[in-house]
Structure 1
Amino acid sequence: MTSLWRNREFTLLWTGQCLSELGTSMASLAIPLLVLAVTGSPVQAGLAGTIAQVTRLVCRLPAGLLVDRVDRRRAMLACDLIRLAAFAGLGVAVLTGRAHLGVIVLVAVLDAAGGTLFGTAEHAALRSIVPAGQLPDAVARNEARSYGVALVGPPAGGLLFGLGAVWPFAGNAVSCLASLFSVGLIRRPLQQPREGAPGGLADGLAFVFGNPFLRAVLVIAAPLNFAVTGTIFTIIVVLQRHGTAPAVIGLAETFIGAGGLLGALAAPLLRRRFPMAVLARAICWAATGLFLVSALLTASVAAAVPIALTLMLAPACNAALFGYQAAITPDRLQGRVVSVIFLVANSASAVAPLLAGLLVTTWSAAGAIVLFAAAVAASALAATFGRGLRTGDRPITPASAGATPGRSAGPSRPR
């Protein structure tokens, strides 16, 4: 197998998404700051974030079904066009003084819907452009891309917002344009030839919940993602209420990105030395303790450091999970299986920003983070006493690919 960096299609997709995620990272920090500047309400800022999260959940399963039925490259191009228009429009609204809460929420919804479809298509297409043996490494490189961008995006977004509220959104519009060009240059089909009836959502659900490893991962991931999302939002809101400069708020997310980037660079080594079950238990128990430390530091940007330490193990876990999932899932089901995994794993995260805003307003930031730490403790118990995680460390065979209840899924075959 040649190096991933000599794989033209993977490199084009990776580079384009590096620029796109940079713009998204800037806008993700700027949107709650814009809502706070317009309304002055942490609850409304949390509501905007929750609406975006709910949009992702609502679109997740239809996106998976669509990705398995249409040309994936064209779907990605359409998503980039939608997001480009949305953020260009928001920039104009900011310049003309018409960026009220309704406009901001509309843009957040369009971005969430387009990002959900694009992300599902990208995950589903990975198996068509990367050999099966390189799938975990490809996932790890995508993780490194995301966390590396997180080092630059938030402080850049905070700095640009400080210079003028329009600039983070203008930058995101440019990044969508860059992604549009990179995807347009991909020549290889991003799906295998499709034959027979496409099937429905039930096929994806049956495949995921018929696999012991995937079931166990979802039970652990949902509370963990909920806690991470809520804690990060709590830190941002508290820093803003203390009058912290936007660039410094962005620095908090930079710490988190640094932890994830270091973990992504170490992911191949960690994946080879430790079983998936060990990595999952380690991240859950470490997160429980580190979140409690973060609760003691909520008035300072240092509150982000324990979160960064927690996320150092996340890329290795994700590489093992999605590498295994992509290898055992037939191409005709890739979109639906990925969408089910993301839906269940991120379902509780949808209410995390709103809950965090309510807890900060009515209780305290420290109390909010302690509550999120309790959710992580539930994941740690599931990881410790559950047995399904161990099956993900077995070699991939026709038997491990298995069959969904009532329908043969068939073994995965490297292209």
Structure 2
Amino acid sequence: MSPPPPGPKAAEAADPGPAPGLWRNRDFNLLWTGQCLSDLGGAMVELALPLLVLQRTGSPAQAGFVGTAGLVTTLACRLPAGVLADRLDRRRLMIACDVLRLAGYALLGWAVAAGTATLPVILAVVVTGAAATAVFSTAEHACVRNLVHPGRLTTAVARNEARSYGVSLAGPPLGGLLFGLGRALPFLGNALSHLLSLLAVSLIRRPLQEARPSAGEAGRVCATQGLRFLLGHPFLRTLLVIAAPLNMAFTGMIFAMTLALRRAGVPPYLVGLAGTVFAVGGLLGALAAPVLQRRLRLPVLIRLLCWATAALMAVGALLAGTVLAAVPLAAAVFLGPTANAALFAHQAAVTPDHLQGRVVGGVLLAAGSAAALAPALAGVLLDRFGPVPATLVFPVLVTAAALTATLGKGLRSPAA
């Protein structure tokens, strides 16, 4: 059956008049700009954290354990985050998350500067920040359709994809540079980014959700409702099965590449440059997303992404331990933003507003489930094997996803 259009309340709240361009949408641009800054801080810390743990412990496995702890926390919080995003005021929820992240990373920056940043302290901040990020990002995904006209929804999601990859161009090299200048600087910079994000969210005028009727159902039942909706849609259900190994492979390859470069004696700023090269592919893909969406149907995009990624990751594995390994990975991620934009726009269009948070939480949970294990797996493989055999595991995972995309029946029609 055809996907139903957004309800009249969502369309009315998104834009009561003619559909303006997104650049003239004040509230969407406030949210988008605030998250540009927040993502920049997160990109700096994503590079700096494994470098910090590696410097303190000398163990890639422990660096991988810290990364996995953050991802597992994010994973565990996805469904509760969806319930919170649907039952509480999304603006206040997002502000509270920014306050928590601001305090946590300011504390970690101070501890690093004072020389008291032990592994338990680092873990506590990473876990707290990951939980807050899970809630914030779920609420942000859920509120986008209330800020933009329904006809601009796909473009808005594509812009969010471009935002993520765009700040990744500056974040890794900036994080590596700041880490080289002073170990505490990337973490203090991340704290500042959350302060600016908090201010941006506070200035948004439009409601971030439709009016909520009073509900007495339990939180567990609410979360189950979202999962039932998601699993009852064949197309979305199949995409989740494909996304899990695909995301795990990308997360593991990037993490393994970072540690392999550092162990090979590559300076931190060059490690950051490798991350920037990877992000170029995503940014170019996000900029090309509107054109690609008009030319390629979503099922074709998914299959093309899977097979191209499997081949390009195999090339990247052969170059592991060198900065050049980022080049095939950048090419692999080119189609990712287009597929993500189409997927999340489709999900937002077919999901009622009162279920947005729970369905988004379910999508992010399934897509990131296997990725949570990737840093630990990459660290253990690098400890036992060389960089080439360790990284070859990940294109094998993508090949499994490609076979599912090619042989599975669920991708035949997005409207199924």
When normalised by structure 2's length, the TM-score is 0.93
1:275 aligns with 2:293: no
Cα distance in 2 for residues equivalent to 1:115 and 1:370: 31
Amino acid at match of 2:29: T
Length, aligned pairs only: 394
Partners of 1:297 and 1:303 within 8 A in 2:
yes
Query: What's 1:403 paired with?
Result: none
Q: Cα deviations across residues 21-48 of structure 1 (Å, max 9, x unaligned)?
A: 0011001110111001111100000000
User: CA shift at 1:364, angstroms?
Assistant: 2.1
Structural RMSD (CA): 0.9
Contact 1:21–1:146, Cα closer than 8 Å, also in 2: yes
- Structure 1 window deviating more from structure 2 (361-370 vs 305-314): it is 361-370
Query: In the alignment, which residue of structure 2 is the partner of 1:96?
Result: 114
- The answer for the alignment partner of 1:382 in structure 2 is 404
Q: Report matched runs for 1:11-410 at 5 Å.
A: 11-197=29-215, 200-392=222-414, 394=415
Quote the Cα distance in structure 2 between the aligned partners of 1:232 and 1:8: 35
Per-residue displacement from partner, 1:220-266 (whole Å, max 9, x unpaired)?
A: 10000000000111100101101111000001110111000000000
- How far is the alpha carbon of 1:8 from its aligned partner? 1.2
Counterpart code for 1:374: V
SS in 1 for 2:227: helix
Q: Letter of the aligned partner of 1:367 in structure 2?
A: P
Deviation per CA, 1:310-345, whole angstroms, max 9, x where unpaired?
110001000110000001100000000000011011
Distance 1:81 1:391 in 2: 43
Question: 1:299, 1:74 → 2: CA distance?
Answer: 44
Superposed CA deviations along residues 292-317 of structure 1, whole A, max 9, x for unmatched, are 10111112111111111011000100
Q: Show the counterpart of 2:21.
A: 3
The residue type paired with residue 226 of structure 1 is: M
The answer to whether the Cα contact below 8 Å between 1:264 and 1:316 also exists between their aligned partners in 2 is yes
Q: Give 1:291 deviation, angstroms.
A: 0.9
Amino acid at match of 2:119: L
How far is the alpha carbon of 1:390 from its aligned partner?
3.1
Q: CA deviation at 1:219?
A: 1.0
Q: How far apart in 1 are the matches of 2:148 and 2:209?
A: 12
What is the deviation of 1:201?
Answer: 0.9
**Where does structure 1 lack aligned partners over 5 or more consecutive residues?**
395-399, 401-415
C-alpha displacement of 1:87: 0.6
Q: How far 1:200 sits from its partner (Å)?
A: 1.0
Contact 1:276 1:390 in 2 (8 A): no
- Cα distance in 2 for partners of 1:142, 1:194 equals 26
Q: What does residue 411 of structure 1 align with?
A: none
Could you tell me which amino acid in structure 2 is paired with residue 132 of structure 1?
Answer: P
TM-score by length of 1: 0.94
SS in 1 for 2:131: helix
The residue type paired with residue 231 of structure 2 is F
After TM superposition, the runs of 4+ consecutive aligned structure 1 residues lying more than 3 A away are none
- Counterpart residue identity of residue 138, structure 2: T
Shift of 1:134: 1.1
Tell me how far apart the structure 1 counterparts of residues 413 and 307 of structure 2 sit (CA, whole Å).
Answer: 21
Structure 1 residue 196, shift from structure 2 partner: 4.5
The letter for the 1-side match of 2:380 is L
Q: Distance in 1 between matches of 2:200 and 2:125?
A: 23
Tell me the secondary structure at the aligned position of residue 68 of structure 1.
Answer: helix
Q: Distance in 1 between matches of 2:211 and 2:62?
A: 46
Identity %: 57
User: Cα deviations across residues 363-413 of structure 1 (Å, max 9, x unaligned)?
Assistant: 222112211111000110111112322322x5xxxxx6xxxxxxxxxxxxx
Structure 2 distance, partners of 1:387, 1:196, is 40
Distance 1:16 1:91 in 2: 21
Q: Which runs of 5+ in 2 are unaligned?
A: 1-18
Aligned 8 A contact 1:201 1:336 in 2: yes
| Structure 1 residue 5: Cα displacement | 1.1
- Name the CA distance, whole Å, in 2 between partners of 1:365 and 1:236: 11
Take 2:171 and 2:360, find their aligned partners in 1: how far apart are those partners? Answer: 26
Quick check: 1:285–1:377 contact (8 Å CA) kept in 2? yes
